[in-house]
Structure 1
Amino acid sequence: MSAYASTVLNASAEEVWDYLRDFGNLAEWLPGITLCEIEEGDGHRPGAVRRIEGPGGTFRERLLTLDDGSRSATYEILESPLPLRDYRGLYRVSPVTDSGRAFVEWSAAFEADDEAKITKIVTRGIFEPGLAALHTRFPS
């Protein structure tokens, strides 16, 4: 199953990527996250593990790739209060060439017993509010 959300921000792709490439800053912009700390490694290098505390409990995630050329990163969930398995997430920032703004995509593929329910939770409960919150960080 997969989840997906996207938005356009009023900032350059480079400016948005410079902010989002920090794997340890999730608590600064994702609503409901009270703590995000790097437990292992460097938040700017693959292999880093972050612990996230939110309303649903504790998540632990590992950064798999960080590609400045394509302004994208992939990560996996190691521990989650959600009933899902084999979660692989991707976020990417691309330039909107006719306006100089940034197109931001956030997606994930995973398995779950109730895939429709978990897809809704991930999309509407995490991705969409997270991308909406970035509009505050990068206002019009």
Structure 2
Amino acid sequence: MRASEIIRGGNGPTPGAVRLLTGVDGSIYRQRLVAPDNADRKLTYEIVEAPLAVLGCRSTLHVPPVTDTGGAFLTWHATVDPAQGTTAQKATTVLEAACAPAFAGLHTITA
């Protein structure tokens, strides 16, 4: 992503806050924060707008600690509604490809 900013709902992790993401190619993504859970280290959000073959997507990121190493483990679970004319498998593949660079970037900045 080239840029990320909260455009509605405050500066912190507030349910309903909307984040605008701009891809390196200029594509626009909007995500709505559904449920931040600091105690359990989880974050659930919905894609509101994206140039992807999905009508709806709700994702949860969970970062449980790895106690023996002091590190953490990232899990991502998404429920996807494919766009008309697209299969669930194709929508999943497109979403995974779109998110992979962001997850790789997380590893880079936290390593």
- Name the TM-score class by shorter chain: 0.7 to 0.9
Q: Is the 8 A contact 2:28 2:50 kept in 1?
A: yes
Q: What secondary structure, in the 3-state scheme, does the structure 1 residue paired with 2:73 have?
A: strand
Structure-to-structure mapping, 1:96-135, within 5 angstroms: 96-112=66-82, 113-126=86-99, 128-135=100-107
User: What pairs up with 1:1-140 in 2 under 5 angstroms?
Assistant: 33-42=1-10, 43-54=12-23, 55=25, 57-112=27-82, 113-126=86-99, 128-139=100-111
- Amino acid in the other structure paired with 1:89: S
RMSD (CA atoms) = 1.6
Q: Which runs of 5+ in 2 are unaligned?
A: none
The code of the aligned residue for 1:118 comes to A
After the TM superposition, which parts of structure 1 deviate over 4 Å for at least 4 consecutive aligned residues? none
Identity of aligned residues (%): 39
Runs of 5+ consecutive residues of structure 1 not aligned to the other structure:
1-32
Relative contact order, higher structure (CA 8 A, sep 6+)? 1
How many matched pairs?
106
| TM-score (structure 1 length as normaliser) | 0.68
Which structure features the higher share of helix residues? Answer: 1
